[in-house]
C-alpha cells in the first residue's frame, strides 16, 4: 500500500516529450532511495495540458509538475517524495499562489472545465481494471444487468438527450431504440464503436482510449444489452498504437473478470468484443464504409437507406457510436438522465471534448459544458493567443467543418448554434488562427486533405473536390479571376448536394465558410494579387527598404539562391525573379529591420 | 463476475487507495520528514498512518509530510489537524504508536494525551 502516488501522463503527447524515460528514472531513483514500498508510480492517460509535457501529479499533496526533465527526477525523489519538500521550480506556474500551491482544478485551464468523458483520464492507471472499478467502474453495467430492462436503459439514454459526439449530433437513444425495434426477429445484432478519429488536429477519442479504455468496454456492453446484441467491434486506427495496446489489455482484463463473455453478472447476458484495425483511410470514419471495412472489404460508403439500425454490419441491425459518446454512458446510467440534462443547453446536453490546437497558448485537451462561448474557451481555458497576436478565426469540425470568426466569439457552443453560423461541432478539433493565417490557404489545406482522402466511388467528390482544389491553387497563386469565385461557390454547392456520403457532402464547408466570413481576403487574392497574411508565397514579396539598408551584406550572405545584389556599404536589392521567399534575409536583418514582407 | 457483491469487494479494496488521489480533505496528518525526522524513524510512522487511513477508507484524511519544525529532539513529530479543533502534536512517535494514534484519534476522536507535546513527562 503506497502512501504517495506519482501519476505520470502516459498520453501520446507526453510520451512524445519523453514521459516513458521519466517513468523509468522515477522507478530507478525510488528504488535507490528505498521508497519502492512507499511510493507508487502510475502511468495514466492524458491530463489535457499537452503543451506543458511531460507532466506529473504527486499525491496526496496534489502537486502538479510540468515540463519535467529526466535530470529533475533525483531532486523530486530525494526532496519531495522522501522529505516532503515540494520542488517549487517545477510546479506548473498557474498552481503557485502566494507562496502556497493551489489545486490544479482551480487553475484557469481546469476551472471552467467539466469532466464526464475525461473524468478518469490522468486519474487512474488505464491498464488496471481494479483502479477503474475503484472509481465506480462497471457499476453501471452491473446495475443495468441486474435491475433494468433494455427498454429502461434506452429510456434513460433518450431522456438524457445525449447526442452523437462524432460530429453528426444524432440522438444516441433514438439510434439505440431503432436498432432494438426495427428488425424484431433478427438472429444477431452488432454494437460498433467508431474510433477512426481522422480529422487533422483531433485527438479526443485517442485520449479517452488511452486514458480510460474500460469506460468504452462497459458502455458497449450496456449498449449490447439495450439493443439485444451479443457482439461488438471497435474500429480503431492502426496509427494509434498506444490506444490499441491499452484497449487490448483492457478487453483481456474484462474477459478474465467475466465482465465480457458469457452470463455476465449472472444475468444470462452474453457479450464479446473484438478490435478491428483501420488502415488510415479517412472515409472509413463514415458509418457504412466503416462497416464494410470491418467485413473485410474495401472501405467505401454505400447509399442509405437502408440505415445500419436496420441493415448494418454483415447485413444485421447495428449501432455505431463514437468513443466519446460511449464514454458518457456509464455516468448517465449511474447519475441519471436528470443530472445529465442539468448540464449544457436546451438542445445540446452534457459536455463536449475539444482538442485545442493552432495559435493558442494552452494546446491540449479540454472538456467543457455545452453552451460555453468560444471566447471563454480561447481566452480563459486556452490562455489566449501567443505573442499578443489578434484572434482571427477558429476552425471546428476539421475538413467537414467551418470557421468561427470574431463576431461569433460569444455565441454559446452547441450543435445547433454552430450549424447556424455555417460551422459544425464536428468531432471536436478546434484549431485557432491568428492574424498571420491566410484563410484562403486554410481552405486549400483542408481541400487538399479531402482530395487525398476521397475514396473515388462517386464523381462529385472524386472529381469535384479535385477541381475545387485547383481553383484554390489558382487563387493563391494569383491566377484567379472574379468569375472563378462565383464558379467556386457553384461547384461547392454541387459537391454538397450530389456526393454519396458525408465526406463529399461536407468537403466544401471549409471553402464556403471562409468565403462567407473572409470574402475580402479572397477578393484581395484575386483582384489585388495580394495575401495580407503573407502566407501565399506567390503573392508575397520581400523588399529591402533603401532608407534602412546600411549595406552590411549580411542578407546577401544568407540568401540561399543569391537573389540579393549589392556591394558593401551600398544599398541592397532583391531580384524578385530569383527570390524563393524563404524569409531567411528578414531574420538576418533583425538589427536594422530593413527587409519587410509585403 | 457473477454478482454485484464481487464487484463491490474489488471496489472496497481499491477505494482507500484511490482516495490518496482525491483533494479537498479536511483532516490533515502531517509527519515531519526532514533529515532529523527521518533519522529518528519518521518513515515507518508516515507509512503506518497512510496504511491505516487507506485500509479503513478514511476518505476525509490526508497524510502528508512536512520539513523540520525546529523541535528536532522530539522527532518523529506528527501533527493532526481537524476542522474546528486545536492542532494536536504528537512527539517521539514510532510505528506502533502511530497505529494507536491513527486508530484512536483519527477513527474514534480520542486524543492520546500521553504521546502529545503537552505531556510534561516527555518534555523535560
ipTM: 0.87
Residue B12 maps to a domain? no
pLDDT at residue A135, as a whole number: 94
Mean pLDDT value of segment A521-541:
91
Which has the minimum average pLDDT: A100-104, A124-128, A265-269?
A100-104
Tell which of A80, A81, A83 to mutate to test the B interface (max B CBs under 10 Å): A83
Strands A4-9 and A56-59 come out as antiparallel
Mean pLDDT value of segment B49-56:
92
pLDDT at residue A335, as a whole number: 97
pLDDT at residue A199, as a whole number: 87
What percent of chain B stands above pLDDT 90?
49
Tens of pLDDT along B71-96?
A: 888 999 999 999 888 899 999 999 99
For chain A, say whether B26 makes contact (Cβ under 8 Å): no
Report residue A137: phi and psi, to 5°. -65, 145
- Cα–Cα distances in angstroms (integers) from residue B81 to residues B45, B78, B98, in the given order: 17, 10, 15
Contacts of A527 (CB under 8 A, 6+ apart): A482
Angle CA A94–A52–A584, to nearest 5: 115
Q: Residue B120: pLDDT above 80?
A: no
Helix A241-256 to helix A204-211 angle (10° resolution) is: 40
Q: For residues A484-506, b (16+ Cβ closer than 10 Å) or e, as one string?
A: bbeebeebbeebbeebbbbbbbb
Question: Where do the domains of chain A lie, and which CATH numbers do they carry?
Answer: 4-105 (3.40.30.10), 129-340 (3.40.50.11540), 351-434 (3.10.20.600), 439-528 (1.20.1440.230), 541-597 (3.30.70.20)
Among A592, A516, A579, A501, smallest CA distance to A549 is for A592
Residue B3 maps to a domain? no
Higher model confidence: residue A200 or residue A564? A564
Residue B9 maps to a domain? no
Q: Which helix (H) or strand (E) holds B81?
A: strand B78-81
Cβ-based neighbour number of residue B108 at 10 Å: 8
pLDDT at residue B124, as a whole number: 54
Tens of pLDDT along A112-161?
A: 999 999 999 999 999 999 999 999 999 999 999 999 999 999 999 999 99
Angle CA A231–A235–A241, to nearest 5: 125
Among A137, A140, A121, smallest CA distance to A129 is for A137
Q: How confident is the model at residue A427 (pLDDT cuts 50, 70, 90)?
A: confident
Q: What's the total number of domains in chain B?
A: 1
For chain A, say whether B49 makes contact (Cβ under 8 Å): yes
Tens of pLDDT along A211-260?
A: 999 999 999 999 999 999 999 999 999 999 999 999 999 999 999 999 99
Asked if A59 lies within 8 A of B50 by C-beta distance, the reply is no
What percent of chain A stands above pLDDT 90?
88
Tens of pLDDT along B90-113?
A: 999 999 999 999 999 999 999 999
For chain B, say whether A255 makes contact (Cβ under 8 Å): no
Asked if B18 lies within 8 A of A135 by C-beta distance, the reply is yes
Q: Which of A3, A138, A139 sits opposite B46 (nearest CB)?
A: A3
- Domain residues for the domain of B113 are 23-123
Mean pLDDT value of segment A279-286:
93
pLDDT at residue B122, as a whole number: 60
Contacts of A379 (CB under 8 A, 6+ apart): none
Alpha helices (H) along chain B:
4-19, 35-40, 42-55, 95-101, 107-108
What percent of chain A stands above pLDDT 70?
100
Residue B53 maps to a domain? yes
Asked if A263 lies within 8 A of B2 by C-beta distance, the reply is yes
Among A254, A46, A244, smallest CA distance to A137 is for A254
Asked if B20 lies within 8 A of A2 by C-beta distance, the reply is yes
Q: Residue A370: pLDDT above 60?
A: yes
Residue B69: which CATH number?
A: 3.40.30.10
Mean pLDDT value of segment A173-187:
94
What distance in Å separates the CA atoms of residue A452 and residue A444, rounded to the nearest whole number? 12
Q: How confident is the model at residue B25 (pLDDT cuts 50, 70, 90)?
A: confident
Task: Output the average pLDDT for chain A.
Answer: 94
Residue B6 maps to a domain? no
Residue B56 maps to a domain? yes
Asked if A83 lies within 8 A of B50 by C-beta distance, the reply is no
Mean pLDDT value of segment A488-492:
97
pTM for this entry: 0.91
Amino acid at each position: 500500500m503506497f502512501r504517495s502516488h506519482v501519476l505520470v501522463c502516459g498520453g501520446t503527447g507526453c510520451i512524445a516529450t519523453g514521459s516513458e524515460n521519466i517513468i523509468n528514472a522515477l522507478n530507478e531513483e525510488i528504488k535507490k532511495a528505498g521508497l519502492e514500498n512507499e511510493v507508487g508510480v502510475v502511468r495514466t492517460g492524458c491530463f489535457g495540458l499537452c503543451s506543458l509535457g511531460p507532466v506529473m501529479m504527486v499525491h496526496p499533496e496534489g502537486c502538479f509538475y510540468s515540463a519535467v526533465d529526466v535530470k529533475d527526477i533525483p531532486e523530486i525523489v530525494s526532496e519531495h517524495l522522501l522529505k516532503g519538500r515540494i520542488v517549487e521550480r517545477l510546479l506548473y506556474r498557474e498552481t503557485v499562489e502566494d507562496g502556497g500551491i493551489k489545486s490544479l482544478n482551480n487553475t484557469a485551464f481546469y476551472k471552467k472545465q467539466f469532466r464526464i468523458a475525461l473524468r478518469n483520464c490522468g486519474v487512474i492507471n488505464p491498464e488496471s481494471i481494479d483502479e477503474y472499478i475503484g472509481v465506480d467502474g462497471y457499476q453501471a453495467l452491473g446495475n443495468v444487468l441486474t435491475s433494468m430492462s433494455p427498454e429502461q436503459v434506452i429510456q434513460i439514454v433518450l431522456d438524457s438527450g445525449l447526442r452523437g459526439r462524432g460530429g453528426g449530433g444524432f440522438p444516441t437513444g433514438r439510434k439505440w431504440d431503432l436498432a432494438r425495434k426495427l428488425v424484431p426477429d433478427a438472429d444477431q445484432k452488432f454494437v460498433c464503436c467508431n474510433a477512426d478519429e481522422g480529422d487533422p488536429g483531433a485527438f479526443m477519442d485517442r485520449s479517452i482510449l488511452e486514458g480510460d479504455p474500460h469506460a468504452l468496454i462497459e458502455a458497449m456492453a450496456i449498449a449490447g444489452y439495450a439493443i439485444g446484441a451479443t457482439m461488438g467491434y471497435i474500429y480503431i486506427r492502426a496509427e494509434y498504437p498506444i490506444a490499441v495496446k491499452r484497449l487490448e489489455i483492457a478487453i483481456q482484463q474484462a474477459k478474465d473478470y467475466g465482465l465480457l463473455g458469457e452470463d455476465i453478472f449472472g444475468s444470462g447476458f452474453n457479450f464479446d468484443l473484438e478490435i478491428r484495425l483501420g488502415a488510415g483511410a479517412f472515409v472509413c470514419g463514415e458509418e457504412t464504409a466503416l462497416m464494410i471495412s470491418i467485413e473485410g472489404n474495401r472501405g467505401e460508403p454505400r447509399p442509405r437507406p437502408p440505415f445500419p439500425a436496420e441493415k448494418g454490419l454483415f447485413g444485421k441491425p447495428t449501432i455505431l457510436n463514437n468513443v466519446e459518446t460511449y464514454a458518457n454512458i456509464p455516468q448517465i446510467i449511474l447519475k441519471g438522465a436528470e443530472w445529465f440534462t442539468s448540464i449544457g443547453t436546451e438542445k445540446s446536453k452534457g459536455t463536449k471534448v475539444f482538442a485545442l490546437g493552432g495559435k493558442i497558448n494552452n494546446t491540449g485537451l479540454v472538456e467543457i459544458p455545452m453552451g460555453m462561448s468560444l471566447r471563454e474557451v480561447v481566452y480563459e481555458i486556452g490562455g489566449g493567443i501567443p505573442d499578443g497576436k489578434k484572434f482571427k478565426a477558429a476552425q471546428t469540425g476539421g475538413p467537414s467543418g467551418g470557421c468561427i470568426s470574431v463576431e461569433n466569439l460569444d455565441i454559446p457552443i452547441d450543435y445547433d448554434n454552430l450549424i447556424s453560423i455555417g460551422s459544425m461541432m464536428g468531432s471536436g478539433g478546434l484549431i485557432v488562427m491568428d492574424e498571420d493565417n491566410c484563410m484562403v490557404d486554410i481552405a486549400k489545406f483542408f481541400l487538399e486533405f479531402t482530395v487525398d482522402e476521397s475514396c473515388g466511388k462517386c464523381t462529385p467528390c472524386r472529381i469535384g473536390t479535385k477541381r475545387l482544389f485547383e481553383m484554390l491553387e489558382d487563387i493563391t497563386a494569383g491566377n484567379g479571376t472574379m468569375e472563378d469565385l462565383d464558379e467556386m461557390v457553384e461547384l461547392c454547392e454541387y459537391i454538397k448536394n450530389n456526393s454519396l456520403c458525408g465526406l463529399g457532402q461536407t468537403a466544401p464547408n471549409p471553402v464556403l465558410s471562409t468565403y462567407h466570413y473572409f470574402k475580402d481576403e479572397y477578393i484581395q487574392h484575386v483582384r489585388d494579387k495580394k495575401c495580407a497574411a503573407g502566407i501565399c508565397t506567390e503573392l508575397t514579396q520581400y523588399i529591402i527598404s533603401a532608407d534602412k539598408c546600411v549595406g552590411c551584406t549580411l542578407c546577401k550572405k544568407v540568401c540561399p539562391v543569391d537573389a540579393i545584389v549589392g556591394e558593401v556599404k551600398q544599398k541592397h536589392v532583391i531580384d524578385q525573379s530569383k527570390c524563393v521567399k524563404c524569409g531567411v534575409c528578414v531574420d538576418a536583418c533583425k538589427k536594422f529591420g530593413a527587409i519587410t514582407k509585403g | 463476475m457473477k454478482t454485484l457483491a464481487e464487484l463491490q469487494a474489488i471496489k472496497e479494496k481499491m477505494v482507500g487507495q484511490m482516495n490518496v488521489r482525491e483533494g479537498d480533505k479536511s483532516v490533515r496528518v502531517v509527519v515531519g520528514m526532514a533529515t532529523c525526522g527521518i533519522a529518528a524513524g519518521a518513515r515507518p510512522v508516515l507509512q503506518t498512518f497512510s496504511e491505516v487511513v487507506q485500509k479503513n477508507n478514511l476518505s476525509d484524511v490526508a497524510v502528508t509530510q512536512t520539513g523540520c519544525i525546529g523541535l528536532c529532539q522530539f522527532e518523529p513529530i506528527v501533527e493532526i489537524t481537524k476542522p474546528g479543533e486545536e492542532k494536536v502534536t504528537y512527539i517521539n512517535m514510532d510505528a506502533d504508536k502511530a497505529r494507536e494514534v491513527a486508530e484512536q484519534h483519527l477513527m474514534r476522536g480520542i486524543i492520546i494525551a500521553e504521546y502529545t507535546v503537552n505531556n510534561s513527562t516527555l518534555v523535560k
